[in-house]
């Protein structure tokens, strides 16, 4: 929810010296309460933020650069607003920091304080950034020949099916993905593009065509990345009732930051790596 301290959608000055006050937290409960998620979460997981625009000065005044990985547990009460994080990281550009260890400690302490949780922060030299993968694992849904008519979320599109030659009682273990996913920022209405993976197991196969129709129906859906993935998780659980389920979204960069929310019935840590489009 936008308030007077949230820089999203506003023209603001970009500080070039250390400014932790620019960081802005968003309460997860603002969304979760609206969909019936209480204090006991129906999933596990984390949000992985990869930040590629970080620079500071060493003791000799020489600019240094690095990439940054931030892992925030989905159990945190707050998430950090992305524009405020960009501005915060930019505020180090003319700040003298004696070592990478010290910089990592400062960022960790500031985010722990802001989010009231324990985040994991890792500084990466540019040559150590994980190489990009060209694709997600599993079956790609993008070439299914279907007609699309819904561009706002329609969870009722989801369904299961029995495939010819498949036992009604057979156990399904499947990984599916699409690169066609798009949603909208709830404040600016700017598009957010992502590749999305769904891994599940159960007694019924999720209809690939219906799943793709459902995911495309988010095209004009306005929500933050994290709440979007949580909504997808809840919808698939409700309408398809798998035994296990994991949902991962790899959103493309905005402001030098890509966000990768992961929610799962049985896994806490998100899969590693990144895609070439990130």
φ, ψ for residue 20 (rounded to 5)?
-65, -20
Distance CA 277, CA 176 (A): 18
| Catalytic status, residue 240 | no
| CA distances for 152 relative to 213, 223, 267, angstroms | 11, 12, 29
Q: Do residues 115 and 78 lie in contact, with contact meaning Cβ atoms separated by under 8 Å? A: yes
Q: Spell 235-256 as b/e; 16+ CB within 10 A means b.
A: bbbebbebeebbbbbbbebbeb
From 74, 185, 210, 240, active-site residue = 185
Distance CA 101, CA 195 (A): 33
| Catalytic status, residue 192 | yes
Helix (H, G, I), strand (E, B) or coil at 147: coil
DSSP state of 276: T
Distance CA 207, CA 161 (A): 6
Q: Do residues 80 and 72 lie in contact, with contact meaning Cβ atoms separated by under 8 Å? A: yes
Helix (H, G, I), strand (E, B) or coil at 52: strand
From 110, 192, 235, 258, active-site residue = 192
Q: Do residues 29 and 79 lie in contact, with contact meaning Cβ atoms separated by under 8 Å? A: no
Question: Annotated catalytic sites, by residue?
Answer: 185, 192
């Amino acid at each position: 929810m936008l308030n007077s301290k949230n820089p999203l959608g506003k023209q603001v000055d970009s500080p070039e010296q250390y400014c932790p006050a620019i960081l802005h937290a968003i309460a997860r409960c603002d969304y979760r309460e609206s969909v019936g998620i209480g204090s006991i979460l129906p999933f596990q997981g984390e949000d992985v933020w990869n930040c590629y625009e970080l620079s500071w000065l060493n003791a000799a005044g020489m600019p240094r650069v690095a990439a940054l990985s931030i892992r925030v547990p989905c159990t945190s009460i707050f998430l950090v607003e992305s524009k405020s994080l960009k501005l915060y990281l930019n505020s180090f550009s003319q700040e003298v920091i004696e070592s990478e260890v010290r910089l990592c400690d400062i960022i960790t302490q500031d985010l722990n304080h802001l989010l009231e949780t324990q985040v994991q922060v890792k500084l990466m030299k540019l040559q150590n950034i994980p190489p990009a993968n060209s694709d997600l694992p599993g079956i790609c849904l993008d070439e299914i020949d279907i007609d699309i008519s819904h561009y706002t979320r329609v969870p009722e599109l989801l369904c299961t099916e029995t495939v010819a030659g498949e036992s009604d009682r057979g156990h399904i273990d499947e990984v599916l993905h699409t690169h066609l996913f798009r949603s909208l920022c709830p404040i600016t209405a700017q598009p957010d593009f992502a590749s999305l993976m769904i891994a599940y197991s159960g007694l019924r196969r999720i209809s690939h065509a219906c799943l793709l129709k459902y995911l495309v129906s988010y095209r004009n859906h306005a929500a933050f990345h994290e709440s979007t993935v949580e909504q997808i998780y809840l919808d698939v659980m409700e309408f398809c009732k798998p035994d296990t389920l994991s949902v991962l979204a790899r959103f493309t960069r905005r402001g030098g930051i890509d966000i990768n929310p992961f929610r799962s019935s049985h896994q806490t840590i998100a899969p590693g790596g990144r895609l070439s489009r990130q």
